Amino acid sequence: MEKSYRQTYHACVPSGWSNDPNGLIFFNGKYHLFYQHYPYKTQWGIMHWGHVTSRDFVKWENCPIALKPDRVYEAVCGCCSGSAIEVDGKMLLAYTAAQPDLQRQCLAWSDDGIHFTKDPANPVLRADMLHPEVSVKDFRDPYLFRRDGHYYMLAGAKLLEPPYRADQTISAGSVGVGADKFTPTDWNPSNPPFLSGDGLNAGDGWGNLVLCRSDDLYHWTYIGRLIRRSDHLPEQFYQLPGAYECPSYFEVDGTEVVLSSPQNFVGEGKQFQNVHASTYMTGKLDFETGHFAIDAMGEVDYGFDFYAEQAMVTPEGRVVMIAWKEMWDRSFPTQSEGWAGTYTLPRELHVREGRLVQQPVWELKKYRRNPAAFHSLKVEEESVSLPGVAGKTLELSFTLSPDGARRCGVKLFKGQEHETLIYFDAEEGMLVFDRAHSGKETGGRDRDKYRRFCPVEDPSCIRLQCYLDISSVEVFVDGGKAVMTGNVYPDHEGDDGVEFFAEGGACSFADVEKYDIIVK
Ligand code: FRU
């Protein structure tokens, strides 16, 4: 077996660095996943758009880099995040050309979905064309969509308070339009400029989302901000010391949904445990004012590694979401293998009883092999393995019914020294993902380095679907009403056991189903 943390049925960057998924679209018979990419090192650097395609959301094929930063207006942060739509048979990418203190929106076109040409009118949209409340420094990640014959762009931004600061001055380096090219001496790939500290969080203001409209993709009108005080959200949502990054907007099951990733979100206790969060809001978008009247909101994923999710609508009308399965402000153990950046399973989204429900796309079932099933199992003060239930690329489902146990659940990637725990903690009344003893550790700014907590609806009966892939764990709770995602770094040899355990009492496990997931 190859000694690598490379995952087998999750999209991963081939080499170098990758972050946010971008431009999800079905075009020319394939699903396209672009991603923020720095090909020359395993850290963030001037941004390119990497590209993979798939016919079934499971087997991904590498394609040539789709966007390279080669225009003055992209110096020095590059082609940052964005989205894709189809216009008159062409694929259109919308992305942010980011400079240290100026972020502007650009377009790139393709006939074949592989080769792209930047629009000569770039950058087509910058904040000072809109309204002085929108900071020119933090205005990024356009999500382009059509509605009632118009184009809309939903973007993350920081908004300034009146009187709007006059210091929207832009340093001399932050310029360039149209065909202005980098000269090779402007940028030496072996020694690129890196952003430090707070990433692309460049200026003053509080995070919000903004909506813009156009009829021709070149002339844009500012509609307004989505999040307003009237929505009775906790204060952290109005005074976000970062941008709401990478938004998506869609309708599913008759409900409108906005996804986004609030940067530097200050979570409390066992909620929003990551340094940067991912949220969904259901409600109603007013296309005249931009206001999104919020009905409900929640955390998209309760695990360690989940950020910058994007949603797309497939030709048959499924809404499918993919996220960056990593987190900022952490170390990346795969860097020593020459790569850093993995993506979640593509997840089909629904809204049921007002909340977001996620399931892996059905296509993953085509790769199930070697089934094993057990009707029921009672475990008390012990740790039990089942015949045929072990491995590193697995789908494992079971129903957990705690029966007096203080802690009960499964040990995954279990070896002599390592184990990754997914268990119900009776005292907390919550499900726990514990990677304290998983293997190689990550360092970073986490409040809790080892544990993530997730609410459950009925603590007496919890259905879990776990997807293991070499160094990845995704746990769908109660049919996907909650999900916990995280990467773990066990030993390459051994560390492939699965055990069911109960401590401080008993627990029943029912309807245990296991499949190997084999993608060849
Ligand atoms: C989110 C983000 C985006 C930005 C991109 C740069 O992870 O900060 O807002 O466009 O990364 O790579």
What does 361-405 look like in DSSP terms, one character per residue?
Answer: -GGGGGGEEEEEEEEEEEEEEEEE--TT-B-SEEEEEEEEEEEB-
Spatial separation of the C-alpha atoms in residues 474 and 486, rounded to whole Å: 7
pLDDT at 174: 60
In testing the pocket of ligand 1, which one of 95, 99, 140, 244 has its CB within 8 Å of the most ligand atoms?
A: 140
CA of 271 to the centre of ligand 1 (A): 23
For residue 96, which atom of ligand 1 is closest to its CA?
10
For residue 36, which atom of ligand 1 is closest to its CA?
12
Spatial separation of the C-alpha atoms in residues 298 and 317, rounded to whole Å: 24
Residues with CB under 6 A from ligand 1: 19-20, 36, 47, 80-81, 96, 140-141, 199-200, 245-246, 308
For residue 82, which atom of ligand 1 is closest to its CA?
10
Structure tokens at 420: 């990754």
Could you say which DSSP state residue 264 is in?
T
Q: Which residues pair with 250 in a beta bridge?
A: 257
Helix (H) or strand (E) holding 146: strand 134-147
CA of 136 to the centre of ligand 1 (A): 16
For residue 20, which atom of ligand 1 is closest to its CA?
7
pLDDT at 126: 84
The closest residue, in CA terms, to atom 8 on ligand 1 is 200
CA of 152 to the centre of ligand 1 (A): 20
Q: Which residue has the tokens 């020593």?
A: 336
Checking DSSP bridges between strand 430-434 and strand 420-425, what pairing results, if any? Answer: antiparallel
CA of 15 to the centre of ligand 1 (A): 19
The closest residue, in CA terms, to atom 9 on ligand 1 is 245
CA of 506 to the centre of ligand 1 (A): 46
Q: Which residue has the tokens 């304290």?
A: 436
The verdict on whether omega for the bond into residue 333 sits within 30 degrees of 0, i.e. cis, is: no
With beta carbons less than 8 A apart as the criterion, state whether 466 and 383 touch: no
Could you say which DSSP state residue 451 is in?
E
CA of 199 to the centre of ligand 1 (A): 8
pLDDT at 203: 82
CA of 194 to the centre of ligand 1 (A): 13
In testing the pocket of ligand 1, which one of 41, 81, 194, 343 has its CB within 8 Å of the most ligand atoms?
A: 81
For residue 307, which atom of ligand 1 is closest to its CA?
7
Neighbours of 268 (CB within 10 A): 10
In testing the pocket of ligand 1, which one of 96, 141, 330 has its CB within 8 Å of the most ligand atoms?
A: 141
pLDDT at 427: 97
Spatial separation of the C-alpha atoms in residues 23 and 123, rounded to whole Å: 18
Q: How far is CA 452 from CA 356, 421, 483, in A?
A: 19, 11, 11
Checking DSSP bridges between strand 16-27 and strand 339-340, what pairing results, if any? Answer: parallel
From first to last of its 520 residues, the chain has per-residue pLDDT tens of 458 999 999 999 999 999 999 999 999 999 999 999 999 999 999 999 999 999 999 999 999 999 999 998 998 889 999 999 999 999 999 999 998 888 999 999 999 999 999 999 999 998 888 899 999 999 999 999 999 999 999 999 999 988 786 556 666 556 777 777 776 555 666 666 666 567 787 788 999 999 999 999 999 999 999 999 877 888 889 999 999 999 999 999 999 999 999 999 988 899 999 999 999 999 999 999 999 999 999 999 999 999 999 999 999 999 999 999 999 999 999 999 999 999 999 999 999 999 999 999 999 999 999 999 999 999 999 999 999 999 999 999 999 999 999 999 999 999 999 999 999 999 999 999 999 999 999 999 999 999 999 999 999 999 999 999 999 999 999 999 999 999 999 999 999 999 999 999 999 999 999 999 999 8
Spatial separation of the C-alpha atoms in residues 130 and 159, rounded to whole Å: 12
Spatial separation of the C-alpha atoms in residues 382 and 165, rounded to whole Å: 63
CA of 156 to the centre of ligand 1 (A): 10
Burial environment of residue 9 by CB neighbours within 10 A (0 to 12, 13 to 18, 19 or more): buried
CA of 98 to the centre of ligand 1 (A): 10
CA of 134 to the centre of ligand 1 (A): 18
CA of 276 to the centre of ligand 1 (A): 12
Q: Strand locations in 161-287, DSSP E?
A: 206-214, 220-225, 244-252, 255-262, 279-285
For residue 245, which atom of ligand 1 is closest to its CA?
9
Please report, in angstroms and rounded to a whole number, the separation of the first and last CA atoms in the chain. 14
For residue 47, which atom of ligand 1 is closest to its CA?
12
The H helix count followed by the E strand count for the chain is 0, 32
Spatial separation of the C-alpha atoms in residues 151 and 317, rounded to whole Å: 19
The verdict on whether omega for the bond into residue 76 sits within 30 degrees of 0, i.e. cis, is: yes
Spatial separation of the C-alpha atoms in residues 237 and 177, rounded to whole Å: 35
